[in-house]
Amino acid sequence: METAQSRQKNYADKWRTLLEFQVEDTIFLKIAPIKGVMWFEKRGKLSPRYIGLFKILEHIGKLAYKLALPPELASVHNVFHVSMLKKYISDSSHVLKHELVEVHEDLTYEEKQVNIFAHEEKNLRSTTIPLVKVLSPNYKIEEATWE
Protein backbone atom coordinates (compact mmCIF):
# COMPACT_ATOMS: atom_id res chain seq x y z
CA MET A 1 0.00 0.00 0.00
CA GLU A 2 2.86 2.41 0.86
CA THR A 3 4.57 1.91 -2.51
CA ALA A 4 1.33 2.67 -4.35
CA GLN A 5 0.86 5.84 -2.31
CA SER A 6 4.45 6.99 -2.83
CA ARG A 7 4.19 6.34 -6.59
CA GLN A 8 0.96 8.33 -6.74
CA LYS A 9 2.52 11.15 -4.69
CA ASN A 10 5.56 11.30 -6.98
CA TYR A 11 3.32 11.50 -10.06
CA ALA A 12 1.18 14.27 -8.51
CA ASP A 13 4.25 16.25 -7.37
CA LYS A 14 5.63 16.37 -10.93
CA TRP A 15 2.78 18.67 -12.00
CA ARG A 16 2.41 20.59 -8.74
CA THR A 17 4.25 23.86 -8.28
CA LEU A 18 4.68 25.66 -4.99
CA LEU A 19 3.21 29.14 -5.38
CA GLU A 20 4.67 31.79 -3.17
CA PHE A 21 4.25 35.54 -3.36
CA GLN A 22 5.96 38.45 -1.64
CA VAL A 23 4.32 41.41 0.08
CA GLU A 24 3.76 44.23 -2.48
CA ASP A 25 3.60 41.77 -5.42
CA THR A 26 0.93 42.54 -7.99
CA ILE A 27 -1.46 39.67 -8.70
CA PHE A 28 -4.71 38.70 -10.45
CA LEU A 29 -7.60 37.19 -8.49
CA LYS A 30 -9.44 34.15 -9.87
CA ILE A 31 -13.23 34.38 -10.02
CA ALA A 32 -15.09 31.18 -9.23
CA PRO A 33 -17.65 30.48 -12.00
CA ILE A 34 -21.20 30.05 -10.70
CA LYS A 35 -23.88 28.85 -13.10
CA GLY A 36 -26.42 31.54 -13.94
CA VAL A 37 -24.52 34.35 -12.22
CA MET A 38 -23.40 37.29 -14.32
CA TRP A 39 -19.92 38.68 -13.55
CA PHE A 40 -18.98 42.11 -14.93
CA GLU A 41 -21.86 42.20 -17.45
CA LYS A 42 -20.73 38.98 -19.15
CA ARG A 43 -22.21 35.51 -18.75
CA GLY A 44 -20.77 32.07 -19.37
CA LYS A 45 -17.76 31.54 -21.61
CA LEU A 46 -17.11 35.26 -22.11
CA SER A 47 -16.95 36.12 -18.42
CA PRO A 48 -13.46 36.97 -17.18
CA ARG A 49 -11.54 34.23 -15.35
CA TYR A 50 -9.30 36.65 -13.44
CA ILE A 51 -9.79 40.21 -12.21
CA GLY A 52 -7.20 42.58 -10.91
CA LEU A 53 -4.47 43.92 -10.50
CA PHE A 54 -4.25 43.87 -6.70
CA LYS A 55 -1.37 44.35 -4.28
CA ILE A 56 -0.58 41.79 -1.58
CA LEU A 57 -0.70 43.41 1.85
CA GLU A 58 0.19 40.50 4.12
CA HIS A 59 1.13 36.79 4.15
CA ILE A 60 -1.26 34.95 6.49
CA GLY A 61 -0.42 31.39 7.50
CA LYS A 62 1.18 29.04 4.96
CA LEU A 63 -1.28 29.36 2.07
CA ALA A 64 -3.28 32.57 2.50
CA TYR A 65 -2.70 36.17 1.46
CA LYS A 66 -4.43 39.43 2.35
CA LEU A 67 -5.10 41.69 -0.66
CA ALA A 68 -5.74 45.40 -1.08
CA LEU A 69 -9.19 45.37 -2.70
CA PRO A 70 -10.90 48.44 -4.20
CA PRO A 71 -14.08 49.91 -2.63
CA GLU A 72 -16.27 48.17 -5.28
CA LEU A 73 -15.28 44.82 -3.73
CA ALA A 74 -15.82 45.92 -0.12
CA SER A 75 -18.39 43.15 0.41
CA VAL A 76 -15.77 40.48 -0.41
CA HIS A 77 -13.44 39.15 2.29
CA ASN A 78 -9.87 40.24 1.51
CA VAL A 79 -8.01 37.01 2.47
CA PHE A 80 -7.57 34.42 -0.31
CA HIS A 81 -6.00 30.98 -0.72
CA VAL A 82 -2.87 30.81 -2.88
CA SER A 83 -4.74 28.75 -5.52
CA MET A 84 -7.00 31.76 -6.22
CA LEU A 85 -4.06 34.01 -7.13
CA LYS A 86 -1.99 34.42 -10.29
CA LYS A 87 1.15 36.53 -10.42
CA TYR A 88 1.24 39.48 -12.80
CA ILE A 89 4.48 39.72 -14.74
CA SER A 90 4.93 43.29 -15.91
CA ASP A 91 5.41 43.82 -19.62
CA SER A 92 6.05 47.12 -21.37
CA SER A 93 3.65 46.12 -24.17
CA HIS A 94 0.79 46.26 -21.64
CA VAL A 95 1.24 50.02 -21.29
CA LEU A 96 -1.08 51.85 -23.64
CA LYS A 97 0.00 55.09 -25.25
CA HIS A 98 -2.72 57.61 -25.87
CA GLU A 99 -3.05 60.83 -27.78
CA LEU A 100 -5.31 63.72 -26.93
CA VAL A 101 -8.56 63.70 -28.89
CA GLU A 102 -10.69 66.80 -29.35
CA VAL A 103 -14.19 65.90 -28.15
CA HIS A 104 -17.19 68.00 -29.23
CA GLU A 105 -20.00 69.10 -26.90
CA ASP A 106 -22.23 66.23 -28.06
CA LEU A 107 -19.42 63.77 -27.05
CA THR A 108 -18.39 62.92 -30.61
CA TYR A 109 -15.01 63.27 -32.22
CA GLU A 110 -13.78 63.49 -35.78
CA GLU A 111 -11.64 60.71 -37.19
CA LYS A 112 -9.65 61.47 -40.33
CA GLN A 113 -8.88 58.69 -42.80
CA VAL A 114 -5.25 58.47 -43.88
CA ASN A 115 -4.98 55.79 -46.50
CA ILE A 116 -7.25 53.72 -48.77
CA PHE A 117 -5.87 50.19 -49.25
CA ALA A 118 -8.43 48.46 -51.44
CA HIS A 119 -11.63 49.06 -53.39
CA GLU A 120 -14.39 46.49 -53.80
CA GLU A 121 -18.03 46.35 -54.90
CA LYS A 122 -20.55 44.20 -53.06
CA ASN A 123 -23.52 42.94 -55.11
CA LEU A 124 -26.83 42.56 -53.27
CA ARG A 125 -29.67 41.31 -55.51
CA SER A 126 -30.40 44.48 -57.45
CA THR A 127 -28.00 46.97 -55.84
CA THR A 128 -24.26 47.41 -55.84
CA ILE A 129 -22.49 48.84 -52.78
CA PRO A 130 -18.99 50.31 -53.23
CA LEU A 131 -16.61 49.52 -50.33
CA VAL A 132 -13.15 50.87 -49.53
CA LYS A 133 -10.61 49.58 -46.98
CA VAL A 134 -9.53 52.59 -44.89
CA LEU A 135 -6.74 53.05 -42.35
CA SER A 136 -7.32 55.67 -39.64
CA PRO A 137 -4.40 57.58 -38.08
CA ASN A 138 -4.27 55.88 -34.66
CA TYR A 139 -4.61 52.29 -35.89
CA LYS A 140 -2.28 49.56 -37.15
CA ILE A 141 -2.51 48.15 -40.69
CA GLU A 142 -4.23 45.00 -39.34
CA GLU A 143 -7.03 47.20 -37.95
CA ALA A 144 -8.01 48.78 -41.28
CA THR A 145 -11.79 48.71 -41.80
CA TRP A 146 -14.12 48.33 -44.77
CA GLU A 147 -16.46 51.32 -45.19
- The confidence score (pLDDT) of residue 43 equals 61
E-only strand ranges, 18-84: 26-30, 50-60, 64-68, 79-81
What contacts 102, CB < 8 A, 6 or more positions away?
109, 110
The model scores a pTM over 0.85: no
Q: What does pLDDT average to in each consecutive run of 10 residues of the chain (147 residues)?
A: 92 83 90 59 69 91 91 87 89 75 78 76 89 79 79
